[in-house]
Copies of this chain bind each other. A is one copy, B any other.
Amino acid sequence: MSYTLAEIAEALGADAAGDTSLTIARAAEPQSAGPDDLALATNPKYAEALGTGRARAAMLWPDADWQALGLEGAILPTRPRFAMSGLTRLLDPGQGFGTGIHPSAIVDPSATLGEGVSVGPLAIISAGARIGAGSVIGPHCFVGADVTMGENAFMREQASIGARVTIGRNCIIQPGARIGGDGFSFVTAEPSTVEAARKSLGDQGDAQAQPWIRINSLGSVSIGDDVEIGMSATIDCGTIRDTKIGNNTKLDNLVHIGHNVEVGDNCLLCGQVGIAGSVRIGTNVVLGGQVGVSDNISIGDGVIAGGGTKILSSVPAGRSILGYPATQMDKQIETYKALRRLPRLMRDLAEVRKAVFKSGKDD
């Protein structure tokens, strides 16, 4: 798999310069690039390392002076960060999963596979499942009963999907992702200690401990188009209706989505984010790594939460938040600064008190 500089530029819709017939085998960082590599030096700082590598061609920035950098050819994209998307798609060597249905795979006769679907070794497709054309079901994958999956899905090794889950087109499911477990929903015969503590915000008083009885999930999970689910991420079924993930939303590794949650379109949920049950998340929301969201609240459109933020109450649209508990980002940073001065503040106050009250308290 190799391309000329001209072919790459055309695929990216970018300008090419110099000897555009140069053949590129792969992408590389400037300092380790060989003569067949396209060095990625998308800003002047990265470009400094071109001298220590042996690249003849590089992807640079719009008005870069490629000749002064000692190159024979260059790609000059308008927004280099965005060009990375097309470039890496073009050069991706893939996982080598092969085509067709591996003889060791177990495909129920009642399952429907679209044209060109491939099913890897030791994968299982259960009764009533429907897999859209062009989809790849990787090795050791499990697709449960009556699952519906759109076209061109790519499901990596050892991922699993429970019964009645629906997934749109072009979805990517990373290794070991878990879709469609039962929701974590339990109830006690009489009001529980948790119900008491939520009411009082204090200790639980006389509430008696009781056994937890399961509420089963009758709903399943509905996932839109162009969604990505990370490694070991977990998405629970809804209690009555489906848990929902909108179009073009991306879930990183180890993200947890509780039962009944609705995540809107075009969200990014970074590594280890946890969303408790029945939360509603709008569109274009970005939650940084390890963000947590309490149950039964809502996050408005366009909210951005910094890493580690714990969101304990609903957040209006458009807000940038940070901290535990979540606070507007700029105010939180002001608080962090104040906190660092807190021990000194205490000494200052003690000094003032001494001065004021020694000379006649309350006089």
Contacts and interface: CB of A to CB of B under 8 A. Distances in A.
Interface in A295-343: 301-302, 304, 306-308, 310, 312, 318-320, 323-325, 327-331, 333-336, 338-343
B175 A162 contact: yes
A160 to B, nearest CB: 5
Determine chain A's interface SS by DSSP, over half rule: loop
Given A162-B175, A218-B91, A232-B178, A211 B142 contact: no
Chain A interface category by residue count? 35 or more
A289 B270 contact: no
A271 B292 CA distance: 10
B96 A184 contact: no
Nearest to A233: B232
A73 interface: no
Given A202-B330, A307-B312, A345-B349, 16 more contacts: A28-B241, A140-B158, A157-B162, A197-B320, A209-B283, A209-B301, A212-B266, A256-B289, A292-B308, A331-B340, A335-B339, A335-B340, A348-B349, A349-B349, A352-B352, A355-B356
Given A85-B214, A329-B201, A341-B346, A160 B175 contact: yes
Interface string A60-91: 00000000000000000001011011001101
Contact of A193 (B127, B158, B286): B286
Interface of A: 26-29, 32, 40, 79, 81-82, 84-85, 88-89, 91-96, 104, 106, 121-122, 124, 126-128, 139-140, 142, 144-146, 156-158, 160, 162-164, 172, 174-176, 178, 180-182, 184, 186-190, 193-194, 197, 200-204, 209-218, 226, 228, 230-232, 234, 236, 239-241, 248, 250, 252-254, 256, 258, 266, 268, 270-272, 274, 276, 283-284, 286, 288-290, 292, 294, 301-302, 304, 306-308, 310, 312, 318-320, 323-325, 327-331, 333-336, 338-343, 345-346, 348-349, 352-353, 355-357, 359, 361-363
B342 A27 contact: no
A346 to B, nearest CB: 6
A337 to B, nearest CB: 8
Considering the complex of A and B, which 8 residue pairs feature the smallest CB-CB distances, nearest first?
A209-B284, A96-B145, A308-B310, A88-B216, A234-B253, A231-B234, A178-B231, A184-B252
Nearest to A39: B240
A84 B294 contact: no
Contact of A180 (B175, B290, B307): B175
Contacts of A175: 142, 160, 162, 178, 180-181
A211 B84 CA distance: 15
A53 to B, nearest CB: 12
A157 B180 CA distance: 11
A332 B296 CA distance: 21
A142 B139 contact: yes
